[in-house]
A and B are shown apart, each in its own frame.
Chain A
Amino acid sequence: AQTIHQWPVAEIKAVGSPLSLGCTIKGKSSPNLYWYWQATGGTLQQLFYSITVGQVESVVQLNLSASRPKDDQFILSTEKLLLSHSGFYLCAWSLWRGRAEQFFGPGTRLTVL
């Protein structure tokens, strides 16, 4: 069975500080991977997607970057946090090529002060 793990569970960070959020998928090789962001009380917005190791595409510009250093790992980061980065970050994967069905991790709650 596939499992998806995100770390950390929650972060409180200062404006201007760096950030690194991680996501690992076990039990599935070469999945498509995605990062989504959800403002408090809001809807979800796709930020990045990756179809293979080392390849990441940006969907919206939020002064964030993403990397896929391993087949099962997806990293979201920034060197300087903004207040607007606060929210809930979810990692997701899709099972098959040609099928949009996605499965989400437990998420990381980020508070920027």
Chain B
Amino acid sequence: GDQVEQSPSALSLHEGTDSALRCNFTTTMRSVQWFRQNSRGSLISLFYLASGTKENGRLKSAFDSKERRYSTLHIRDAQLEDSGTYFCAAEDENSGGSNYKLTFGKGTLLTVTP
């Protein structure tokens, strides 16, 4: 099965509402990174977490520090410009060597409507 399970696969929000995206990992991960992909295809890094939580404006992300088996991305007061596809990507704690390999989830397509 997939190492990184992302949910939901699609989400529609009205402007001004809040929601959360989640990634579950089938194995212990060392770190997680959240991205937004815009319509052009560019991947914009939102957060990188090795533990704990980070916040930037209306976005907040958390990485379960105990089990290291899930991460969440909270969107507060959703705006039209938040629309896009959100990916989480995680580094396997058991990966060796010098390849900092990120395994990506399948993404959440977020649509924010007026």
Complex contacts, B40 vs chain A, CB 8 Å? 106
Complex contacts, B43 vs chain A, CB 8 Å? 44, 90, 104, 107
Q: Which of A45, A49, A51 contacts B104 (CB 8 A)?
A: A45
A100–B91 contact, CB under 8 A?
Answer: yes
| Interface residue count on the A side (C-beta < 8 Å) | 24
Q: Which residues in window 3-49 of A have CB below 8 A to B?
A: 32, 38, 42-46, 49
Q: In the docked arrangement, what's the CA distance between A110 and B52, Å?
A: 38
Interface of A is mostly: strand
| Interface residue count on the B side (C-beta < 8 Å) | 22
Complex contacts, A104 vs chain B, CB 8 Å? 35, 42-43, 45
Known A59-B99, A107-B42; contact A43-B33, beta-carbon cutoff 8 A = no
Known A32-B98, A57-B99, A94-B100; contact A43-B105, beta-carbon cutoff 8 A = yes
Q: In the docked arrangement, what's the CA distance between A57 and B98, Å?
A: 10
A101–B42 contact, CB under 8 A?
Answer: no
Q: In the docked arrangement, what's the CA distance between A109 and B33, Å?
A: 23
